Amino acid sequence: MDAFDANLLNLIQQNNRLTTEQMSEAIGLSPTACQRRLKKFRENGTIAADISVISPESVGRRMTMIVQVSLEREQPEHLDKFKESMLATQEVMQCYYVTGSSDFILILTAKDMQDYDNFTRRFFFDNPNIQHFNTSVVMDHVKVGLSIPIEADKDSK
């Protein structure tokens, strides 16, 4: 990855709606070169998705929770079943299988506490493989994002 690649990826992480002309001006490549590099990044999976980030509040999902979940049994079939249920659940924005005192960390959204209570009943209390869960309610979204710091390879120019 050269400096142009790193600059291009950093730029589109902040705004992927820039025109190729705007990208070209910002990083010093031709618009065609920017398009070629973006195409390569999409094909090789470096760019995993082009999405729009929706404000949860604007669609009535005013609460964000961070939930630590511990399973009773950690055999692969139990882990896979829990992962599948989280993948299929719209309230869950992010799900991480982790090391430490919990098995999973969930970031999820809810309309209100009743909505979250309904979620816990469906996915935690009704699931005999949930040992326990611990919820932190987000009071302020200080920094939210998925941007990854990208640097050029030291050998590239």
Q: Are 16 and 34 in contact (CB under 8 A)?
A: no
Burial of residue 128 (CB within 10 Å: 0-12, 13-18, 19+) is: exposed
Tell me what pLDDT residue 157 has. Answer: 57
Percent residues over pLDDT 90 in the chain: 85
Tell me what pLDDT residue 155 has. Answer: 74
What average pLDDT does the structure give for the chain? 94
Q: Are 94 and 107 in contact (CB under 8 A)?
A: yes
pLDDT for residue 10 is more than 80: yes
Q: Are 97 and 53 in contact (CB under 8 A)?
A: no
Q: Which of 51-60, 97-106, 126-135 has the lowest mean pLDDT?
A: 51-60
Residues 123, 121: Cα–Cα separation, whole Å:
6
Query: Which pTM does this prediction carry?
Result: 0.84
Which domains can be identified in the chain, with CATH numbers?
Answer: 3-43 (1.10.10.10), 56-137 (3.30.70.920)
Average pLDDT over residues 31-54: 94
